[in-house]
Chain A
Amino acid sequence: MENAIELKNITKAFGTKVIANKNVSLDLKKGEILSLLGENGSGKTTLMNMIAGIYYPDEGQIFVNGKEVTIKSPKDALDLKIGMVHQHFKLVDVFTAAQNIALGMKDKGHYSIKKVSAEVSEMGARYGFVIDPNKMIHTMSVSEKQTVEIIKVLYRGADILILDEPTAVLTPQEIKKLFDVLREMRKDGKSIVIITHKLNEVMEISDRVAVLRKGEHIGTVLTSETNEKQLTEMMVGQKVDLEIDRKDPVDPKPRLLIEHMTVKNRDGLNAIEDVSFTINGGEILGIAGISGNGQKELLEGIAGLQKVESGDVIFHNPKKNKPVTFFHKDLKKIKKMAAEGCFHYPDGTKVDLTGKSKKEIVRLVNEEQILFYEDEIIDLRHRTPREIQELGIKLSFVPEDRLNMGLVGNMSIIDNMALRSYRKGKSIFVNKKRPKSLADKIISDLEVVTPSDMTPVRRLSGGNVQKVLVGREISSSPKVLMAAYPVRGLDINSSYLIYNLLNEQKEKNVAVVFVGEDLDVLLALSDRLLVLSGGKVAGIVDARTVTKEEVGMMMLSRAKAEDAEALNLPTTEKKEDVE
């Protein structure tokens, strides 16, 4: 078989220390699907970006259809019929789908967006994609956006397609549809490279698998002659213990009580509807559900980032027998609480502050003589996000765009550490020592690949950015830790680092909420599993005894009407709209 693409000794470095690709020689045969497999930061995306004209190799040669070529820009790549669907969507928000697809096209004849729309609808119907060409991108869901991206490449008639983690944001049904389309294209003689972390997908879709490790090409194997275990070993270079060490929760007590909570999404619809459950300290509560079933709104509602329409979020602050401080309470509040009988002395007698002078009370508090009699109970619904954070409820939300929430891309790792603690301390100058030691600790503990702790975060690869984000939240010794998709896009090794960190937190009696995608992981890591479906609780089950199939059934139990619609071909009514 002829080669569609052949790479010879490709090397690419960023700066002097980070070598993204080193002497990579690879080939893509005509009419095959090649999986590109590797850990985060192993240089898969960089390598493909050089074929797509985003980066230019420092050394080496690229051959397309047997001829050596120079690809200096995406335009050059398109001229060679190479199209890439990027992991981060490259779409113009205020354009319609059709306008985005028409972008950069230079076909002859009169420019007519109507003509493009008609062709896009026709193409969508042919491949089984649902797409409204006149819909604005900024009103689209993630999977709709990806559909636009894929059709964009198809529309250009690319013979060589590169898909960078296309399945990360799709539902299982959508993945199946995508794979059907890819197989159709392979029949057409097109050559496809698919970058993915999911081994089962590699086994299902590809003809051959090329494995990269730390920027180097480890080998290419026929899918039919390999297995998941061998691929994992090639990828990580050592055997990986796939067991997650899950200890039994010690004395779990209610930490957060969610009562009849309703949260609306941006369109004013109920994303979370009348949801009630309890989160215990010293336990990991897994949250399962198809992406977009209210996970985001649930966590943001608790963290105070979204308005809770109705219901309550009751926080049991584990304060019993702990001294009161002036950090959260002022003198007046302490006096009032003492009068209500909230405090006792270390010897067990009730605190009575009547008649005591201000000075005396301050002394007692500072000497930690006044202790809480019971756990403090606080309704979080009307608290600000900052107050909620200071109470120790941390949301480590890893969104689809890692840099948009939580980290400032242009700032160094150290400065990003300081962001969380800048309110502490009395000096007007920022104390950089502690953030620096924290940054260095995270870099070594979580094996973050970075030239230095002063490197701007945006220069790190996606997985390393995620490690920095999760590492920082865990370091703040939280009482409740909510981690949403903390391992999305991470390789196996890094994922396990994160799982172990969550387990450590659980053993420290932290209430851990883990929103995940991989059911196997959710079942292996969680103590209890809450299944969300259509913004409601479909069930709360014991993760140790429930089966995958049972959870899967629950996830689909209240599938939203839109989801059901998305699985079908467009109705005749919709087609008329398009015309």
Chain B
Amino acid sequence: MAFVSFLSSAIRLSATFLYGSTGEIITEKAGHLNLGIPGVMSVGAAIGCLTVFKLLKAKVYSTILLILLPFLATIVAGGLMGLLYSFLTVSLRANQNVTGLALTTLGVGLAGHFMNGIKAESGIIARASKLYSNLFGIGGDNWFVEIFLSHGILVYLAIIIAIVAQIVLNRTRVGLHLRAVGENPATADAAGVNVTGYRYVATIVGSAIAALGGLFTIMDYMGGNWEYILEGFGWLSIALVIFTLWRPALAIPGSIIFGGLYIASSYIKGITFAQIELIKLLPYVMTIVVLIFTSIVGSKKAQPPASLGLNYFREER
């Protein structure tokens, strides 16, 4: 049964990476390299938790409200971070890498500020955790149920969002325009596509999705207990984008692999703490292997968007 439990946990944790990488893929497809994802996830989680806390303090115990309001608060918080990023890079033409890293520092710091403010009483947040991790109370000895049906609602939402993102990016006009903006903004501009608009919206939507990964991690995976693990998860999500070659559909199995590697050490008996950290490194090693492989093959289809990380100004020549 250890394997069933391992797989179930891997799928559960995968939602964190799936939110993060789906959000980042949408952002990167529009040409924005948002390295602020760790900060976005942290702020999203903190605002979500704070909302849960305020609701519980106000003695609101409605299941719907305890899920829906923190959910919306997280989306708004993530979206605002995306808006800040877009404003700096598109409107003020700041360097994307610097902006992203600044956002990470800002987000992690802000999250610490919010969570430390309620530290003494934060234990009550855990009471709402059950609503996130097992809303319908499904469970049991059946292996199929445990692996596929025993998860919280946010796990399934992550998969749905990834599939929808895949379809939108590749099958719709909006997706075509979005990819064109990320590949060659001058061309998209000349074709009448609103480059600024697409970049703003893609970054805001992407950040909102990534922020949900933060909410999921704390409220579901961590059982409502705040811990400073989101920064590392954020970086892993960005690595996953490269690992999956910018395809949300591939991010679904990819995130399960990352999740499995991250928790694998708990399922191996008799290893030292040093070795545990080494195993946790494996997702990064795999990402590097994928990079080496795609670089050698050199297929145009496995490359990042051509103007990823580059700002676009129309009057330049």
Contacts and interface: CB of A to CB of B under 8 A. Distances in A.
Interface of A: 52, 54-55, 73-75, 77-79, 84, 86, 90-95, 99-100, 102-106, 111, 136, 138, 152, 458-459
Given A99-B176, A103-B180, A104-B177, A73 B192 contact: yes
Interface stretch (B108-116, B118-126, B142-150, B183-191): B183-191
B59 interface: no
A74 B189 contact: yes
A90 B193 CA distance: 13
21 contacts: A54-B189, A74-B190, A75-B192, A78-B191, A86-B190, A91-B184, A91-B187, A92-B183, A92-B187, A92-B188, A93-B183, A94-B303, A95-B180, A102-B176, A103-B177, A103-B193, A104-B188, A104-B193, A106-B173, A111-B171, A111-B173
A103 B301 contact: no
A103 B317 contact: no
Contacts of B173: 102, 105-106, 111
A111 B172 contact: yes
Contacts of B269: none
A52 B177 CA distance: 19
Given A103-B177, A104-B188, A111-B173, 19 more contacts: A54-B314, A74-B190, A74-B191, A79-B192, A84-B190, A86-B190, A91-B184, A92-B183, A92-B187, A93-B183, A93-B184, A94-B301, A94-B303, A99-B176, A102-B176, A104-B192, A111-B172, A111-B176, A458-B317
Q: Which of B192, B300, B314, B315 has the most CB of A within 10 A?
A: B192
B183 A95 contact: yes
Please tell me the size bucket of the interface on B: 20 to 34
Nearest to A99: B176
Nearest to A104: B191
Interface of B: 171-173, 176-177, 179-180, 183-184, 186-194, 300-301, 303, 306, 314-317
Which 5 pairs show the lowest CB-CB distances between chains A and B?
A104-B191, A75-B192, A104-B192, A90-B187, A111-B173
B180 A52 contact: no
A138 B300 CA distance: 9
Contacts of B314: 54, 73
Nearest to A52: B190
Contacts of B301: 94
B183 A94 contact: yes
Q: Which of B171, B172, B184, B187 has the most CB of A within 10 A?
A: B187
A102 B190 CA distance: 13
Contacts of B180: 92, 95, 103
Contacts of B194: 73, 75
B243 to A, nearest CB: 20
Nearest to A136: B300
Contacts of A100: 187
A103 B182 CA distance: 13
Contacts of A78: 191-192
Contact of B190 (A90, A93, A99): A90
Contacts of B177: 103-104
A84 B189 CA distance: 12
A55 B317 CA distance: 10
A106 B191 CA distance: 11
B186 A94 contact: no
B184 A92 contact: yes
B183 A103 contact: no
A186 B192 CA distance: 25
B309 to A, nearest CB: 15
Contacts of B190: 52, 54, 74, 84, 86, 90
A152 B177 CA distance: 15
Contacts of B172: 111
B250 to A, nearest CB: 17
Nearest to B195: A73
A152 B187 CA distance: 12
A417 B179 CA distance: 37
A103 B183 CA distance: 12
A345 B94 CA distance: 65
A54 B185 CA distance: 12
A72 to B, nearest CB: 10
A94 B179 CA distance: 10
Nearest to B194: A75
Contacts of A105: 173
A21 B303 CA distance: 40
A78 B191 CA distance: 8
Contacts of A102: 173, 176
A86 B190 CA distance: 9
Contacts of B186: 90
Contact of A74 (B176, B179, B192, B303): B192
A16 to B, nearest CB: 15
A77 B191 CA distance: 10
B6 to A, nearest CB: 38
Contacts of B189: 54, 73-74
A100 B176 CA distance: 9
Nearest to B184: A92
Contacts of A73: 189, 192, 194, 314
A136 B176 CA distance: 14
Q: Which of B176, B189, B316, B317 has the most CB of A within 10 A?
A: B317
A103 B188 contact: yes
A52 B193 CA distance: 14
Q: Which of A93, A99, A103 has the most CB of B within 10 A?
A: A103
A461 B191 CA distance: 23
A103 B176 contact: yes
Nearest to A79: B192
A95 to B, nearest CB: 7
Nearest to A77: B192
Contacts of A94: 183, 300-301, 303, 306
A436 B186 CA distance: 33
Contacts of A103: 176-177, 180, 187-188, 191, 193
Contacts of A75: 192-194
A55 B190 CA distance: 11
A91 B316 CA distance: 18
A384 B184 CA distance: 34
Contacts of B303: 94
A40 B189 CA distance: 25
Nearest to A55: B315
Contacts of A138: 300
Contacts of A93: 183-184, 300, 306
B315 to A, nearest CB: 7
A458 B317 CA distance: 6
A2 B176 CA distance: 38
B7 to A, nearest CB: 36
B214 to A, nearest CB: 32
B69 to A, nearest CB: 36
Contacts of B171: 111
A266 B141 CA distance: 59
A74 B301 CA distance: 28
A93 B194 CA distance: 19
A79 to B, nearest CB: 8
A446 to B, nearest CB: 21
A99 B180 CA distance: 9
A90 to B, nearest CB: 4
Contacts of B187: 90-92, 100, 103
A258 B173 CA distance: 53
